[in-house]
Amino acid sequence: MKIIDTLRPEGGSKAEQWWKCQGFAAIYKEFRQGAISDDLKKIKDVRDVSEVFRLKGYQFGNWVTHEDRFNYLAALAVCLYDLNRVLRFKGHNLGLDKHLGVAFGARGQKGALAHYEPSTNIINMTRYKEAHRFIKPMSKPTRFVHSGGVGSFAHEYGHFLDYFFGARIETNKIYALSNGRSTDPRRIQYDSKKYPMRYLMESILEKAYWNSKKQLDSAYVKRIREAIPERYLDYFLRRNEIFARLFEQYISYKLKELKIQNVFLTKTKYHSVQYMTPTELKAVVPLFDKLLIQMRKHF
């Protein structure tokens, strides 16, 4: 006969206690503030994050220690629970049936804190910076939370939704729902019944690019043109980048309504001119709501 525990472990889940016994500090808790209790207790082992959220897997670079791996996976799990409080995909299916993978410090691109690869459906988050990269000494928890790719996940996940639903659900000669890297602000005419997600995407981008009369640049685009050097302007006016920035703003807006702040998921990383004002954002929130209703029909 086997005698098993009948009391809940104090100070976190059994998995967390096991990791602590390996000498791992629970840095991941620094990412999250809010009214909802610790979601990690819902997962027996952080290594199960792929199964819980239907991801195709995760990957680490050679310089990511085991303590770092534990904290990145734990932070990812809490981040995904928060993300799905907004998206509400059935069964926490944020990987969209194991199409999305997540990498940490493994597939970095020069100059990018994080990036999404449409060809592989992988989001890569760069690793935190080492102590010698800072002028003033910083503790590891501070570096873990405030450097590297943290704060970029919602932005990159927006790219994933854009490319996945465009390539696999509402297929068209145009690969992404947003028309990808195009900087053409003119509305693409889609049948709202045949291509409801593409139609709503165009409505979101139309609000971003044009003024109320749809003849001149919006105040949002004017701010970008005035503040961004010419050599970078193309990037910040790309359709896919405007959508991703608005998506991260939308996620932050919705979580704020729930009194949640998750800086692993989203935090401002560009200059404020590259984001909509609160008043401008409110005009696109209902369109994002409608876009997600369409996406939920498939997941």
Residue 9 confidence (pLDDT) above 60: no
pLDDT digits (tens, 9 = 90+) for 202-244: 999 999 999 998 899 999 999 999 999 999 999 999 999 999 9
Q: At 269, is the pLDDT very low, low, confident or very high (cuts 50, 70, 90)?
A: low
Q: Which pLDDT score, from 0 to 100, does residue 72 have?
A: 92
CA-based end-to-end distance of the chain? 44
Q: What's the CA gap between 81 and 153, in Å, rounded?
A: 13
Q: Which pLDDT score, from 0 to 100, does residue 105 have?
A: 83
Find the mean pLDDT for residues 164-182. 97
Please state whether the predicted TM-score (pTM) of the whole model is above 0.95.
no
Residue 86 confidence (pLDDT) above 70: yes
Nearest CA-CA partner of 29 in 38, 20, 19: 38
Choose from 62-71, 118-127, 267-276 the range with maximum mean pLDDT: 118-127
Residue 4 confidence (pLDDT) above 50: no
Q: Which pLDDT score, from 0 to 100, does residue 84 have?
A: 97
With pLDDT > 90 as the criterion, what percentage of the chain qualifies? 65
CB atoms within 10 A of CB 76: 25
Q: Which pLDDT score, from 0 to 100, does residue 5 have?
A: 35
CB atoms within 10 A of CB 221: 18
CA 147, 149, 155: angle at the middle one, nearest 5? Answer: 135
Q: How far from 105 is each of 89, 115, 117, 126, 258, CA to CA, in Å?
A: 28, 11, 14, 4, 31
CB atoms within 10 A of CB 103: 24
Find the mean pLDDT for residues 181-194. 98
pLDDT digits (tens, 9 = 90+) for 89-119: 999 999 999 999 999 987 655 556 789 999 9
pLDDT digits (tens, 9 = 90+) for 30-84: 888 876 667 878 888 888 999 999 999 999 988 888 888 999 999 999 999 999 9
Q: At 22, is the pLDDT very low, low, confident or very high (cuts 50, 70, 90)?
A: low
Find the mean pLDDT for residues 122-127. 91
Residue 2 confidence (pLDDT) above 80: no
